[in-house]
Structure 1
Amino acid sequence: MSFQGEQHPGVEAPTAESQGFRLNHTMLRVKDPEKALAFYSRVFGMSVVRRLDFEEMQFSLYFLARLEQGDDVPEDAGQRTVWTFSQKGLLELTHNWGTENQTDFAYHDGNAEPQGFGHICFSVPDLDAAEAWFDANDVEFVKRADQGKMKDVVFVKDADGYWIEVVQADRLAAMGD
């Protein structure tokens, strides 16, 4: 590996102490796990690789991955937990029990004021086909690929209103400077 990352003010060289660190997952809080799981499994083809329940604190964690041919996921729950926490790019959906029964309950999506969290992103092999798939599944669009100043970038919303960016990598080569 020769590329060591772009250099910008504030960027420091990795230290030996951080060797082996990797981003494992991003967590989103969900109101109703059944709706959220239906969305991510149906629309984005993700599978729940591990569910962890914390009865005393009344919440559950659902770890989702887009499994691919050759992924060797252990059947044993303990070994699968270890496997789960050693992966890259998982999505954790956190459900605080009872929120699904509260009609006016909603999480802040990070894009309304005050802004904070923005979105997660999926890369797809064919952006046009993905848009058609989203239309066929009644997915709510924030922005289509041909709209706005940033072409070839799609934004949709999940069941909780979180934004999901969807890109086709080879259509982005000329993006930015």
Structure 2
Amino acid sequence: MKNRMNSHAALTAHLLRRVARTSAVLTVLLSSALAGAQTGSSQKANKDEIQRGRYLVMIAGCNDCHTPGYAAKNGEVDEKLWLTGDALGWSGPWGTTYAVNLRLLMADMSKQQWVKHARTMTPRPPMPWFNVRPMTDADLKAIYAYTRSLGRGGDPAPAFVPPGTKPGGPVVQFPG
């Protein structure tokens, strides 16, 4: 009888250990599955935000100035070159300005810094900052997400050339 009780106790202990191990394995598997589902949904949200940013960059005309050759090539420029700035100058009474490399600019900013920058910047012409400021935070964050998704690329744009100084490269001349 005592052997049967010992056998029963040993079997019970063995079964309890198996249940505990199985529970631990199931907990890990379920936690991983839930984390994967959450990551998947956040990845989808991030992908959607990036796609929205791409769309906004296209319709807002950001590429027109910030992508080399974009307008001259009717928009047929490899996306790898998008938003890398341009050496084509914009010259007028203010001097000569160049479209900044947005990819390098945003690479060194947090999302919140970008939103603040977009809301407060007053660059020289022809940058239409007055069209950027009314964008929603969601729009600005989407543009940021898209631009950051492209990675760093290109070189910094040439520096501002003050009025009365001849720029070193080609320019679009504004009247005045």
Structure holding more helix per residue:
2
**TM-score (ref. length: structure 2):** 0.24
For CA contacts below 8 A with separation 6 or more, give which structure has more relative contact order: 2
Structure holding more strand per residue:
1
